[in-house]
């Protein structure tokens, strides 16, 4: 089994065990836990936690020390998807080839599930006995700031529906909405190494900014060219909602060129790291070729 699948299976197992361990005995109270499980365990690429594991592995961090950070990243990501799918937000009725949380459990319960997952993301790190207190503060500070930027980006996204915007505004929006959590995923792996150099930190920060924007542009392209079944959600959702996207502003071909260029820049940057970047390079190459 290749290492990416090992990481994917590991985070899936950790998420399932963690959510099962916090389920209260009372059947009424446990309903919220079941709703959270519905969205968290539905599948997905798990790219963000895989990125955290990969970065940490570059610096030979014990994988058991990475589990809580990888879990927290994914819990924040899933909470954001639950809320994004709600009718007042993106109004999507499918996610990971199953009905969105609010379509199954109602809008109020979906909101609470998202709220619960966000809170648990901070709890899973703060309760990790393998991580020292100084590192925990750094991780929690970055996670809180990243979650705020993500929400800020979503707010901007909602404010520009049916409006003409320039590429600069779109870049700023997605550096927050998508890029902030991807940056957090990368920097989590770096922060767990207390001896990391300032140079490596700077390289990884810039690298994360490039892949964050590339990932979103690629998502916009795939939204246009990929079927509902493969995407796991509705095709052309941006177009239907009259939301500005990279293809709508740059055109499809130029959007492809743009995200490929950003990925290449990211690969050039990590070649300057003080450690062997091969596993991270392999991950980014796979990412460039993804079809959903």
pLDDT of residue 133: 97
The residues, ordered by sequence, that sit 6+ positions from 123 with a Cβ below 8 Å of its Cβ are none
| Tokens coding 74 | 């994914």
Q: What burial class does residue 225 get, using C-beta atoms within 10 Å of its C-beta: 0-12 exposed, 13-18 middle, 19+ buried?
A: middle
pLDDT at 97: 84
The confidence score (pLDDT) of residue 196 equals: 96
pLDDT tens sequence across 10-54 = 999 999 999 988 865 555 557 899 999 999 999 889 999 999 999
Average pLDDT, the chain: 92
Query: What pTM did the predictor assign?
Result: 0.93
Give me the torsion for CA of 20, 193, 77, 143, rounded to 10°: 100
What distance lies between CA 176 and its chain's CA centroid?
Answer: 12
Instruction: Supply the pLDDT for residue 292.
Output: 79
Please give the pLDDT value at position 219. Answer: 92
Please tell me the distance from the alpha carbon of residue 276 to that of residue 238, in angstroms, as a whole number. Answer: 39
CATH numbers and ranges of domains, the chain: 3-288 (1.10.600.10)
List of the chain residues with pLDDT < 50: none
């Amino acid at each position: 089994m290749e290492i990416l699948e090992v990481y994917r299976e590991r985070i899936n197992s950790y998420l399932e065990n963690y959510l099962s361990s916090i389920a209260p005995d009372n059947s009424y109270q446990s309903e919220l836990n079941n709703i959270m499980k519905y969205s968290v365990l539905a599948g997905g690429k798990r790219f963000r936690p895989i990125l955290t594991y990969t970065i940490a592995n570059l610096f030979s961090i014990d994988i058991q020390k990475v589990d809580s950070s990888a879990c927290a990243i994914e819990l924040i990501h899933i909470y954001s998807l639950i809320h994004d799918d709600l009718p007042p937000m993106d109004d999507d009725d499918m996610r990971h080839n199953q009905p969105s949380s609010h379509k199954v459990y109602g809008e109020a319960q979906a909101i609470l599930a998202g709220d619960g997952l966000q809170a648990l993301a901070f709890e899973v790190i703060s309760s990790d006995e393998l991580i020292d207190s100084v590192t925990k503060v750094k991780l929690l500070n970055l996670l809180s700031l990243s979650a705020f930027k993500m929400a800020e980006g979503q707010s901007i996204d909602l404010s520009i529906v049916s409006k003409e915007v320039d590429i600069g505004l779109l870049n700023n929006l997605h550096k927050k909405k998508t890029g902030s959590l991807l940056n957090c995923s990368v920097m989590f792996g770096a922060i767990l190494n207390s001896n990391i150099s300032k140079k490596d930190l700077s390289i990884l920060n810039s690298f994360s900014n490039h892949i964050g924007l590339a990932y979103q542009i690629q998502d916009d392209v795939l939204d246009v060219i990929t079927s509902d079944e493969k995407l796991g959600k509705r095709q052309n959702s941006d177009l239907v909602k009259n939301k500005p996207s990279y293809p709508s502003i740059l055109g499809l071909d130029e959007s492809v060129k743009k995200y490929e260029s950003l990925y290449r820049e990211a690969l050039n940057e990590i070649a300057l790291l003080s450690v062997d970047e091969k596993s991270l390079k392999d991950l980014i190459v796979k990412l460039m070729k993804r079809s959903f």
